[in-house]
Amino acid sequence: MDIRHADRIADALEELIFTAEFEDNARLDEVRLAERFAVSRTPVREALQRLVASGIAIQIPRRGVFVRQPGPVELLEMFEVMAELEASCGRLAALRISTADIARLETANENCLSAIDAGDSDAYYRENEAFHHLIYKASGNGFLEQEALRLHRRLKPYRRLQLRLHGRMSQSMQEHQRILSALRDGKSDRAATALRDHVAVQGEKFHRLLANLKPAAE
Protein backbone atom coordinates (compact mmCIF):
# COMPACT_ATOMS: atom_id res chain seq x y z
CA MET A 1 0.00 0.00 0.00
CA ASP A 2 1.90 3.01 -1.22
CA ILE A 3 -0.93 5.47 -0.76
CA ARG A 4 -2.13 7.13 2.40
CA HIS A 5 -4.84 5.12 4.06
CA ALA A 6 -6.72 8.29 4.89
CA ASP A 7 -7.03 9.23 1.22
CA ARG A 8 -8.03 5.75 0.17
CA ILE A 9 -10.69 5.59 2.85
CA ALA A 10 -12.02 9.04 2.03
CA ASP A 11 -12.46 8.04 -1.60
CA ALA A 12 -14.09 4.77 -0.62
CA LEU A 13 -16.49 6.46 1.78
CA GLU A 14 -17.37 9.09 -0.79
CA GLU A 15 -18.18 6.36 -3.26
CA LEU A 16 -20.24 4.50 -0.68
CA ILE A 17 -22.25 7.60 0.10
CA PHE A 18 -22.75 8.49 -3.55
CA THR A 19 -24.01 5.02 -4.29
CA ALA A 20 -26.43 5.41 -1.40
CA GLU A 21 -24.79 2.55 0.46
CA PHE A 22 -25.15 4.71 3.54
CA GLU A 23 -28.54 6.28 3.91
CA ASP A 24 -29.15 9.85 4.88
CA ASN A 25 -28.38 10.82 8.45
CA ALA A 26 -26.57 7.58 9.08
CA ARG A 27 -23.84 7.92 11.65
CA LEU A 28 -20.38 7.11 10.38
CA ASP A 29 -19.06 5.12 13.29
CA GLU A 30 -15.33 5.53 13.62
CA VAL A 31 -14.59 2.15 15.15
CA ARG A 32 -16.85 0.25 12.77
CA LEU A 33 -15.23 1.93 9.80
CA ALA A 34 -11.80 1.34 11.26
CA GLU A 35 -12.58 -2.36 11.53
CA ARG A 36 -14.12 -2.42 8.07
CA PHE A 37 -11.02 -0.91 6.48
CA ALA A 38 -8.66 -2.74 8.82
CA VAL A 39 -6.97 0.37 10.10
CA SER A 40 -7.01 2.38 13.29
CA ARG A 41 -9.34 5.26 14.03
CA THR A 42 -6.76 7.86 13.07
CA PRO A 43 -6.91 7.58 9.28
CA VAL A 44 -10.66 7.06 9.48
CA ARG A 45 -11.03 10.34 11.32
CA GLU A 46 -8.96 12.14 8.72
CA ALA A 47 -11.13 10.70 5.98
CA LEU A 48 -14.27 11.80 7.81
CA GLN A 49 -12.91 15.31 8.09
CA ARG A 50 -12.50 15.37 4.34
CA LEU A 51 -16.10 14.30 3.84
CA VAL A 52 -17.24 17.03 6.18
CA ALA A 53 -15.14 19.61 4.37
CA SER A 54 -16.63 18.63 1.03
CA GLY A 55 -20.12 18.87 2.42
CA ILE A 56 -21.30 15.31 1.97
CA ALA A 57 -21.31 14.78 5.73
CA ILE A 58 -21.78 17.00 8.71
CA GLN A 59 -20.05 16.89 12.03
CA ILE A 60 -21.74 17.54 15.33
CA PRO A 61 -19.07 18.09 17.96
CA ARG A 62 -18.79 15.29 20.48
CA ARG A 63 -21.58 13.49 18.68
CA GLY A 64 -20.03 12.19 15.52
CA VAL A 65 -20.27 12.70 11.79
CA PHE A 66 -23.41 11.90 9.86
CA VAL A 67 -24.16 11.35 6.21
CA ARG A 68 -25.84 14.35 4.69
CA GLN A 69 -27.55 13.52 1.46
CA PRO A 70 -28.86 16.67 -0.18
CA GLY A 71 -32.64 16.82 -0.18
CA PRO A 72 -34.75 17.63 -3.24
CA VAL A 73 -34.69 21.36 -2.61
CA GLU A 74 -30.93 21.51 -2.23
CA LEU A 75 -30.44 19.36 -5.31
CA LEU A 76 -32.49 21.75 -7.38
CA GLU A 77 -30.45 24.59 -5.97
CA MET A 78 -27.25 22.81 -6.89
CA PHE A 79 -28.46 22.19 -10.42
CA GLU A 80 -29.35 25.85 -10.68
CA VAL A 81 -25.87 26.87 -9.56
CA MET A 82 -24.38 24.40 -12.03
CA ALA A 83 -26.37 26.09 -14.78
CA GLU A 84 -25.10 29.48 -13.69
CA LEU A 85 -21.50 28.29 -13.48
CA GLU A 86 -21.64 26.77 -16.93
CA ALA A 87 -23.24 29.94 -18.23
CA SER A 88 -20.29 31.87 -16.82
CA CYS A 89 -17.88 29.46 -18.45
CA GLY A 90 -19.68 29.98 -21.74
CA ARG A 91 -19.66 33.75 -21.38
CA LEU A 92 -15.92 33.86 -20.83
CA ALA A 93 -15.13 31.13 -23.33
CA ALA A 94 -16.91 33.05 -26.07
CA LEU A 95 -14.40 35.84 -25.56
CA ARG A 96 -11.30 33.71 -25.17
CA ILE A 97 -11.69 30.33 -26.85
CA SER A 98 -9.01 29.26 -29.28
CA THR A 99 -9.68 27.73 -32.69
CA ALA A 100 -7.99 24.58 -31.44
CA ASP A 101 -10.46 24.30 -28.57
CA ILE A 102 -13.38 24.92 -30.91
CA ALA A 103 -12.12 22.05 -33.01
CA ARG A 104 -11.92 19.88 -29.90
CA LEU A 105 -15.48 20.78 -28.98
CA GLU A 106 -16.64 19.86 -32.46
CA THR A 107 -14.87 16.53 -32.18
CA ALA A 108 -16.49 15.79 -28.83
CA ASN A 109 -19.82 16.73 -30.30
CA GLU A 110 -19.36 14.39 -33.24
CA ASN A 111 -18.42 11.63 -30.84
CA CYS A 112 -21.67 12.32 -29.01
CA LEU A 113 -23.57 11.87 -32.23
CA SER A 114 -21.76 8.63 -33.00
CA ALA A 115 -22.63 7.34 -29.56
CA ILE A 116 -26.29 8.16 -30.08
CA ASP A 117 -26.30 6.41 -33.44
CA ALA A 118 -24.62 3.41 -31.88
CA GLY A 119 -27.11 3.46 -29.03
CA ASP A 120 -24.18 3.51 -26.63
CA SER A 121 -25.47 5.62 -23.78
CA ASP A 122 -22.32 5.14 -21.71
CA ALA A 123 -20.20 6.53 -24.51
CA TYR A 124 -22.68 9.37 -24.94
CA TYR A 125 -22.38 10.18 -21.27
CA ARG A 126 -18.60 10.18 -21.49
CA GLU A 127 -18.39 12.38 -24.57
CA ASN A 128 -21.02 14.75 -23.28
CA GLU A 129 -18.98 15.14 -20.15
CA ALA A 130 -15.88 15.82 -22.23
CA PHE A 131 -17.79 18.50 -24.13
CA HIS A 132 -18.69 20.31 -20.94
CA HIS A 133 -15.26 19.95 -19.39
CA LEU A 134 -13.76 21.47 -22.51
CA ILE A 135 -15.98 24.49 -22.08
CA TYR A 136 -14.89 24.86 -18.48
CA LYS A 137 -11.31 24.89 -19.60
CA ALA A 138 -12.01 27.19 -22.51
CA SER A 139 -13.27 29.79 -20.05
CA GLY A 140 -9.61 30.63 -19.61
CA ASN A 141 -10.18 30.82 -15.87
CA GLY A 142 -8.54 27.95 -14.06
CA PHE A 143 -10.28 28.72 -10.79
CA LEU A 144 -13.68 28.75 -12.44
CA GLU A 145 -12.78 25.52 -14.20
CA GLN A 146 -11.99 23.83 -10.90
CA GLU A 147 -15.16 25.08 -9.25
CA ALA A 148 -17.26 23.88 -12.16
CA LEU A 149 -15.56 20.50 -12.11
CA ARG A 150 -16.12 20.23 -8.40
CA LEU A 151 -19.85 20.81 -8.59
CA HIS A 152 -20.16 18.73 -11.74
CA ARG A 153 -18.57 15.84 -9.94
CA ARG A 154 -20.79 16.33 -6.93
CA LEU A 155 -23.91 16.18 -9.10
CA LYS A 156 -22.70 13.21 -11.07
CA PRO A 157 -24.67 10.55 -9.17
CA TYR A 158 -27.88 12.48 -9.64
CA ARG A 159 -27.33 13.16 -13.30
CA ARG A 160 -27.03 9.52 -14.10
CA LEU A 161 -30.60 8.92 -13.02
CA GLN A 162 -32.19 11.12 -15.62
CA LEU A 163 -30.04 10.53 -18.64
CA ARG A 164 -32.07 7.83 -20.26
CA LEU A 165 -35.27 9.76 -20.60
CA HIS A 166 -36.94 9.50 -23.98
CA GLY A 167 -36.00 12.00 -26.66
CA ARG A 168 -33.55 13.98 -24.57
CA MET A 169 -30.40 13.12 -26.46
CA SER A 170 -31.31 14.60 -29.82
CA GLN A 171 -32.64 17.75 -28.21
CA SER A 172 -29.44 17.95 -26.23
CA MET A 173 -27.42 17.78 -29.41
CA GLN A 174 -29.34 20.69 -30.90
CA GLU A 175 -28.50 22.66 -27.80
CA HIS A 176 -24.85 21.75 -28.19
CA GLN A 177 -24.98 23.12 -31.70
CA ARG A 178 -26.40 26.40 -30.49
CA ILE A 179 -23.70 26.64 -27.86
CA LEU A 180 -21.01 25.91 -30.41
CA SER A 181 -22.26 28.50 -32.84
CA ALA A 182 -22.38 31.15 -30.13
CA LEU A 183 -18.81 30.32 -29.14
CA ARG A 184 -17.65 30.39 -32.75
CA ASP A 185 -19.22 33.81 -33.22
CA GLY A 186 -17.81 35.08 -29.96
CA LYS A 187 -21.30 35.97 -28.69
CA SER A 188 -20.85 35.79 -24.97
CA ASP A 189 -24.43 36.48 -23.94
CA ARG A 190 -25.81 33.94 -26.38
CA ALA A 191 -23.29 31.36 -25.24
CA ALA A 192 -24.16 32.00 -21.61
CA THR A 193 -27.88 31.74 -22.19
CA ALA A 194 -27.57 28.64 -24.34
CA LEU A 195 -25.48 26.89 -21.73
CA ARG A 196 -27.68 27.98 -18.85
CA ASP A 197 -30.79 26.67 -20.56
CA HIS A 198 -29.02 23.50 -21.62
CA VAL A 199 -28.00 22.67 -18.08
CA ALA A 200 -31.18 23.95 -16.48
CA VAL A 201 -33.13 21.36 -18.44
CA GLN A 202 -31.50 18.74 -16.25
CA GLY A 203 -32.84 20.51 -13.20
CA GLU A 204 -36.28 20.62 -14.79
CA LYS A 205 -36.18 16.94 -15.58
CA PHE A 206 -35.12 16.30 -12.06
CA HIS A 207 -37.92 18.44 -10.76
CA ARG A 208 -40.47 16.53 -12.79
CA LEU A 209 -38.97 13.25 -11.68
CA LEU A 210 -39.40 14.28 -8.07
CA ALA A 211 -42.93 15.47 -8.65
CA ASN A 212 -43.77 12.08 -10.11
CA LEU A 213 -42.23 10.25 -7.22
CA LYS A 214 -44.19 12.05 -4.54
CA PRO A 215 -47.40 13.13 -6.29
CA ALA A 216 -49.02 15.14 -3.52
CA ALA A 217 -46.62 14.79 -0.68
CA GLU A 218 -46.29 17.58 1.85
Partner DNA sequence: GTCAACGATTTTGTATACAATACATTCGAG
Partner DNA sequence: CTCGAATGTATTGTATACAAAATCGTTGAC
DSSP, residue by residue, the chain: --S-HHHHHHHHHHHHHHTTSSPTT-B--HHHHHHHHTS-HHHHHHHHHHHHHHTSEEEETTTEEEE----HHHHHHHHHHHHHHHHHHHHHHHHH--HHHHHHHHHHHHHHHHHHHHT-HHHHHHHHHHHHHHHHHHTS-HHHHHHHHHHHHHHHHHHHHHTT-TTHHHHHHHHHHHHHHHHHHT-HHHHHHHHHHHHHHHHHHHHHHHHHHSTT--
Closer Cβ to a copy of itself, 55 or 170, answer by number: 55
* Residue closer to a copy of itself, measured from CB, 54 or 121: 54
Binding mask 58-97 for DNA (x = CB under 7 A): -x-xxxx---------------------------------
Which lies closer to a copy of itself via its Cβ, residue 127 or residue 203?
203
Minimum CB distance to a copy of itself, residue 215 (Å): 25
By CB under 8 A, the residues from 86 to 105 that bind a copy of itself are: 87-88, 91-92
Mark 6-45 with x for binding to DNA (rule: CB under 7 A) and - for no binding.
x--------------------x-xxx-------xxxxx-x
Three-state SS string over 25-53 comes to CCECCHHHHHHHHCCCHHHHHHHHHHHHH
Contact call for residue 163 and DNA (CB under 7 A): no
- End-to-end alpha carbon distance in the chain: 50
Q: Binder to a copy of itself among 30, 80, 106, 129 (CB under 8 A)?
A: 80
Binding-site partner at residue 77 among a copy of itself, DNA, none, CB < 5 to 8 Å by type: a copy of itself
Question: Which residues contact DNA (rule: CB under 7 A)?
Answer: 2, 4-6, 27, 29-31, 39-43, 45-46, 59, 61-64
- Interface residues with a copy of itself (CB under 8 A) are 3-4, 7, 42, 45-46, 49-50, 53-54, 61, 74, 77-78, 80-81, 84-85, 87-88, 91-92, 141-144, 147
